[in-house]
Copies of this chain bind each other. A is one copy, B any other.
Amino acid sequence: MNQFSKEYLVVAQNASGRNMKVPLYRFKGSKPGPKVYIQSSIHGAEVQGNVVIYHLIQTLKELPISGEITLVPNCNPVGTNIKAGEYTLGRFDPINGTNWNRGYYFDPQLVNQFAETVDEQESQASIKSRFRDAMKAQIDNRLNSTWGLGLAQQLNLKLQQLAFDADIVIDLHNGPVSTRHIYVPEYAKASASLFNIPHVILIPNVFAGALDEATFCHWWTLQEKLSSKYQKPVAFDVEAFTLEMGSQEVISFDEGKYDAVSILSYLNAKGCLVDADYQPKNMLRVAVTLDNYKILYTQQGGIVDYLAPPGSRVKQGEALARILNVDELENERATETIKAPCDLIPILHFPSASVLSGTQLYKCFTHYVTLTAGA
């Protein structure tokens, strides 16, 4: 059976001077295989991933694996515990507004320099091992700099040191009010059909600060360097995903089982499980490129009835939302209808009816295509 261990990583100290720590659950199979890293709740209000990890752990207590799986629930103990009113102010550091998911490290210079040190004869295993060491040394440097680092960045770098060891990185998130969707790097498009997630966003090799990018941008860039240097395809088989599993601020043990099974289907296809029969569902999946994943902002302030539920199909000109204007209730300006600027699928919407102008009302798939398994 798998070998299990649990330990804690200190990621911060609070204003009482006390350590804030993150639990690391580890399962090691008796056979070799990929290393997997799964974390949840880097945004403190996005708690459903903790339930998914709970279900994964129940399964992994019984199911033999190849390789190693590290699970890190509640990976941001600061964000989880910032309440403002009844809700959790967990998307950003309440002190300075820094998004908790934007302080990971990516340095194309480092990749370039490292690529110089690779010899055509070097084995893939050796390259991966050396590159991981180089990265971790860099992160160590930053963590130990004389002048220190900001809280979000410290947290991110400590998690990244764990994650960069893995061949598969899965970061579990939720949207505000949201349907299931997944961010997939374009080179790993085929893997999108291994999850039971109907909405897929394909992202390019551009770093915007998140953990999935901080993982795959390094390997992707290194692949491209070496492929071009040796004029032959080089692939490191490292994949990283951000899974958005529904809405923030709620958990459901039932829904969590669905997502655990979805992840197990992917892991099975990747050779992480031994004699398991988890298979991806036969289902409709649609995909967009990142530039076709659009944010619709409000032009006006007011109180919103969100008419189009996440995951529905909306035609150009159909109503997305209806805004109430409390100062004009007796006349025709009492309500205003916001219409879809083109055919789209709303993926998520703002979680409060009360909005100022310039609020992210909806995020939408536009120009989406059906994804064919194995494409």
Interfacial residues, chain A to chain B (CB-CB below 8 A): 4, 6, 12-18, 23, 25, 44-45, 47, 50-51, 53-54, 57, 61, 71, 73-74, 77-78, 80-99, 146-155, 176, 249-253, 294-305, 322-327, 329-330, 334-335, 341, 350-360
**Distance in angstroms between the alpha carbons of A29 and B351 in the assembled complex:** 40
Interface pair B97/A47, CB less than 8 Å apart: no
- Choice from B15, B74, B148, B299 contacting A296 with Cβ under 8 Å: B148
Residue on B nearest A150 in the bound complex, by CB:
B358
What's the nearest-Cβ distance from chain B to residue A18, in Å?
Answer: 7
Q: Given known contacts A16-B302, A150-B358, A154-B357, what 16 new A-B pairs fall within 8 Å (CB)?
A: A6-B330, A15-B88, A16-B77, A25-B329, A50-B326, A83-B94, A87-B87, A88-B352, A92-B92, A92-B96, A147-B341, A148-B299, A150-B297, A151-B359, A251-B304, A251-B353
A-B pairs with lowest CB-CB distance, top 4? A151-B358, A148-B297, A13-B301, A92-B97
Complex Cα distance A85/B89, Å?
6
Q: Is the CB of A83 within 8 A of B25?
A: no
Copies held by the complex: 4
Contact between A252 and B305 (Cβ–Cβ < 8 Å)?
yes
Judge whether A330 and B4 touch: CB under 8 Å.
yes
Is B95 a contact of A97 with CB atoms below 8 Å?
no
Chain B residue numbers with a CB within 8 Å of A98 are 97
A-B contacts, 24 of them at CB < 8 A, read: A12-B358, A13-B357, A15-B354, A16-B326, A18-B327, A23-B326, A54-B324, A54-B329, A57-B334, A73-B326, A83-B94, A85-B95, A86-B95, A86-B176, A86-B352, A87-B351, A87-B352, A92-B92, A147-B297, A148-B295, A249-B351, A249-B352, A250-B353, A251-B305
What B residues does A77 contact at CB under 8 A? 16, 18
Kindly name the residue among A57, A176, A250 whose own CB sees the greatest number of chain B CB atoms within 10 A: A250
Select from chain B the residue with minimum beta-carbon distance to A41: B326
- Contact of A14 with B81 in the complex, beta carbons under 8 Å: yes
A303 contacts B150, CB within 8 Å?
no
A354 close to B47 (CB less than 8 A)? yes
Min CB distance A263 to B, Å, is: 15
A51: chain B residues at CB < 8 Å are 303, 305, 324
Task: Determine the distance from Cα of A2 to Cα of B324 in the docked complex, in whole angstroms.
Answer: 24
